[in-house]
Chain A
């Protein structure tokens, strides 16, 4: 096994695979930065280029591209408040306020370093868990997956605002997201729900236009209202100084970064959940790490921990997400499904062979993820000061370009004019949510997990009747979910008591 591990590294370091990995990483770098052009879509576009490649060349190319998309996707989230990827939305919540405070450099330093740590942990997770993860993944049926989704939904408690009113608004926001996820054809009975006679809505509301509208348009409007640069009137010098602070922040909150990386890795190996969920669960965990009500109030206003958590989880889920694809041929998300196609194109069959006959190739994938991220983060650090200076450009010069990127990004989701309508509609909803202090993160969590919850519940009921409720693993995950919610309330109570004692 150790030989295969080292063999994997030597394989990636050969000049041709290395060159392909660098080309892939360069493509992934730009794909991540541009909003709307997703890693999965680009992976699909790159498939025709691998026909003449060997597996040793094709996987460094494809994974080099796919594994860095989340890393650079965080850059636009921080600088302009536009999520570069659907998996980098949570970074907006605290990253963009940091940029507004003139801490773009610090936010970028933190998010890039935590992304690197996350990617390395994810790659390590993949390397060491391949032999043991099989029973875990195969043990989780629909009932357990429903409970895992329920566990994800409990994060709404943490992502809501402060106090009982804040919690109520969080629940309402999550409920509304849940309701929006039900738009389209019901997969059980085939009945069309809330489509208003539009064929476009049959296949549910697309994630990218919803996310870009909800998160980017309110920020653009606010930038216009302020009439300044994103970083206000902060000088260039202050921006560049923060990069080192951001890197230090990663190590100052190292255990948080590690924990969020592990959360990302765990969610990564579960089919169907993916980075969109991992980022919010880790963000919720970062919020929970606040020790005082004042600290907690700082989240959403530019707390660096709100950047570190999602940054780490986004990247760690990449390596972990490969495990079910490579080892069992079960793709965890759309990107992995496309990668599965690449396996067959190259004459490889995912499964036991990848863990025995082709183990060196499997480990070369681990090394590709690690090396590609190291290279891209190093390149980003080289140019980070210049990138951060973008936040000092006058808002009026940036707005037409940001707006143009939002519209293009949304449109590329389905290449349909309906994407633009969804973008504008959710832009309006997002603006009013922000204006009246309705938290948007619970909405996204409800939106992503809503349909999954419905599907898993129906499969569970159809397959097991009511007996699925008594399965030991279901009960255990349910208890964890209950403990998660109770922990949030007890923590709040303890914080309030502490505050009262101090007063």
Chain B
């Protein structure tokens, strides 16, 4: 199963290499030179990796440890996959919340819902931490740094309709 993920990863990079090559061919020489060289290299490298994943020995595949952070391996794989999907959902959910309602609404809503629904915290703690996040956000980023935050599609829509 893991090997198929690796295959897919190499395949993705091969596709990226090909798409970049095709796109770069329409550009003048100077603009296209670097993207072409890098994409050809990327395609050939990804192809080599793809073939090695397919036909190479499993022993070698398992030895290719990266000089990098490693995901925890002491969790049951099925549980880990389920939790990973939930974590991704929270990240994308937060992003969508910002997009639709803007930061000012999304920050307290996300913090509160996560604490109450996901972490199953008590009401008091959830409200206290949500309030702290809100004070920190408004105090530092809105009031002190005066960063212009987007209002979100809902409020922008209401404004366009003359209701906001």
| Chain A residues proximal to chain B, CB less than 8 Å | 34, 37, 45, 81, 92-93, 96-97, 158-163, 165-166, 168-172, 175-176, 178-179, 182, 186, 188-189, 191, 193-194, 215, 217-222, 224-227, 287, 296-297, 299-301, 394, 396-397, 399-401, 403-404, 407-408, 411-412, 415, 417, 420-421, 424, 427-428, 431-441, 450, 453-454, 457-458
Chain B's nearest CB lies how many Å from the CB of A178? 5
Please indicate which of the listed interface residues A168, A222, A300, A437 has the most CB atoms of chain B within 10 Å of its own CB.
A437
Count of A-B residue pairs with CB < 8 Å: 223
Can you list 9 A-B pairs, Cβ within 8 angstroms, ordered by A?
A: A96-B69, A161-B67, A165-B52, A169-B64, A179-B39, A219-B69, A221-B84, A287-B67, A403-B91
Option from A163, A434, A436 in Cβ contact (under 8 Å) with B6: A436
Asked if residues A161 and B64 are in contact (CB atoms below 8 Å), the reply is yes
CB of B15 within 8 A of chain A?
no
Whether A162 contacts B114 in the complex (CB less than 8 A), given A225-B87, A397-B121, A420-B95, comes out as no
B88 on interface, CB distance cutoff 8 Å: yes
A310 to chain B, nearest CB (A): 13
Category for how many chain B residues contact A: 35 or more
A288 to B90, CA, bound (A): 39
Q: How many angstroms from the CA of A186 to the CA of B30 in the assembled complex? A: 9
Task: Say whether, besides A182-B35, A189-B30, A408-B141, A397 and B16 are in contact (CB < 8 Å).
Answer: no
Q: A45-B145, A193-B31, A404-B133 are in contact. Are A222 and B45 (CB under 8 A)?
A: no
B66 touches A437 (CB 8 A): yes
B18 at the interface (CB under 8 A from A): no
Beta-carbon nearest neighbor of A417 in chain B:
B150
State how many angstroms separate the Cβ of A69 from the closest Cβ of chain B: 15
B66 surroundings in chain A (CB, below 8 A): 160-161, 166, 169-170, 300, 434, 437-440
Docked complex: B31-78 residues within 8 A CB-CB of A: 31, 34-35, 38-39, 41-42, 45-46, 48-49, 52, 56, 60-61, 63-72, 75
Q: Known interface pairs A92-B69, A97-B69, A217-B91. Does A193 touch B27 (Cβ–Cβ under 8 Å)? A: yes
Among B28, B39, B114, B148, point to the contact of A399 (Cβ < 8 A): B114
Residues of B within 8 A of A435 (CB): 5, 71
* List of A residues within 8 angstroms of B127 by Cβ: none
